[in-house]
Amino acid sequence: MIEEIRIEDMNSEEFIREKVDEISSTVGEGVAINALSGGVDSSMVTILGHKALRDRLKTCFIENGLMRQGEPQEVVSLFAELGVHVELIDAREQFFEALRGVTDPEEKREAITRTFYRDVFGELVKESNAKYLLQGTILTDVDETVAGIKRQHNVFEQLGIDTQKAFGYKIIEPLAQIRKDGVRKVAEAVGLPESVYNRMPFPGPALSTRVIGEVTPEKIELVRQATAITEEELAEVDAFLKLAILHDDRVTGMRDGQRDFGLQIEIRCWDSIDARTAEPTRLPFETIERLAGRIISEVPGVVSVTYNVTPKPPSTMEAI
């Protein structure tokens, strides 16, 4: 059972000091590795790890082919400015291969988990001699996985999985006692820029959580374009999460006077504090209309755009 540190009881400086000490004493003189996605959780872990281990922490950005437009290069250059070298690992083929033909949501998550932790990381760990993987699991990830709601890609020990046996390394989770609001608070205290500590969450399985049915490079490209437009059009909206989903089923539309059995994009925009519950943001109708207009004209084949008005629960934020 993990003991929660509530945001109102948390002293950020103390938390940072304790976690840096814990990482140092666990890893000892050894080498550790971590994956940075640019999100607030993995960014915070990267900084804690570098404070504790300096160049004995190898930080990688795994280019899985499922990230948003321009994301890999942006993250690598932002951390270069912060003095942290990040190695870009191209694993696109491995991920798309693992996802081929998989349609069940939990099987998709499982395929990503396996590819990430066993195949890609297993190899990197062997090459680098690392004994530990540092990762940014937060308490909400653990809760939802243990409750059987969504198998978050980064939860193992709490499910009784021995990562040493399964993948050949141990996992350290410095953020497992706090939730998203707590991570933002310590990320600000540690000196990360606002673009990081206030960054919108983005799930580990990335855009694959926003494609219903089989994930292919072509579908990811469509949802990537819809995501970029959604984030641009809603940039001024103060919401927890803004996303676009590509549906698997088609609907009859019309284009240039012809029948077009086309694609459907669903937009979701969430208000939430800690991701456990959420409400759809009450966007002005004109905003939704403008966004839909851009998606149907810029994303090939889309004839329908909808806006989700269901709260979590019973919805969850991401589609799979």
Return the residue of 40, 241, 292, 303 that touches ligand XMP, per CB under 6 A: 241
Q: What is the rounded CA–CA span in Å between residue 173 and residue 132?
A: 10
Return the residue of 204, 225, 246, 280 that touches ligand XMP, per CB under 6 A: 204
Smallest gap from Cβ 267 to ligand XMP, in A, equals 15
Q: Which is nearer to ligand XMP, 19 or 150 (CB)?
A: 150
Q: Which is nearer to ligand XMP, 183 or 296 (CB)?
A: 183
Asked if 144 is part of the footprint of ligand XMP (rule: CB under 6 A), the reply reads yes
Query: Where does this chain touch ligand XMP (CB under 6 A) — which range of 8-16, 96-104, 259-267, 312-320?
Result: 312-320
Tell me the residue length of the chain: 320
Query: Where does this chain touch ligand XMP (CB under 6 A) — which range of 59-67, 68-76, 125-133, 310-318?
Result: 310-318
Q: Is 265 helix (H, G, I), strand (E, B) or coil?
A: strand
Annotate 39-57 with DSSP letters as a single string: SHHHHHHHHHHHHHHGGGE
Smallest gap from Cβ 203 to ligand XMP, in A, equals 3
Asked if 71 is part of the footprint of ligand XMP (rule: CB under 6 A), the reply reads no
Tokens describing residue 286: 């004109």
Query: Where does this chain touch ligand XMP (CB under 6 A) — which range of 58-66, 77-85, 191-199, 309-317?
Result: 309-317
Pairing of strands 258-271, 251-255: antiparallel
Return the residue of 203, 212, 222, 268 that touches ligand XMP, per CB under 6 A: 203
Pairing of strands 86-90, 57-63: parallel
C-alpha triplet 288, 292, 293: angle, nearest 5°: 115
Q: What is the rounded CA–CA span in Å between residue 238 and residue 29?
A: 44
Smallest gap from Cβ 312 to ligand XMP, in A, equals 5
Within 8 A by CB and 6+ apart from 68, the residues are 202, 206, 207, 224, 227, 228, 231
Site residues (vs ligand XMP, CB under 6 A): 141, 144, 150, 152-154, 201, 203-205, 209, 241, 275, 312, 316-318
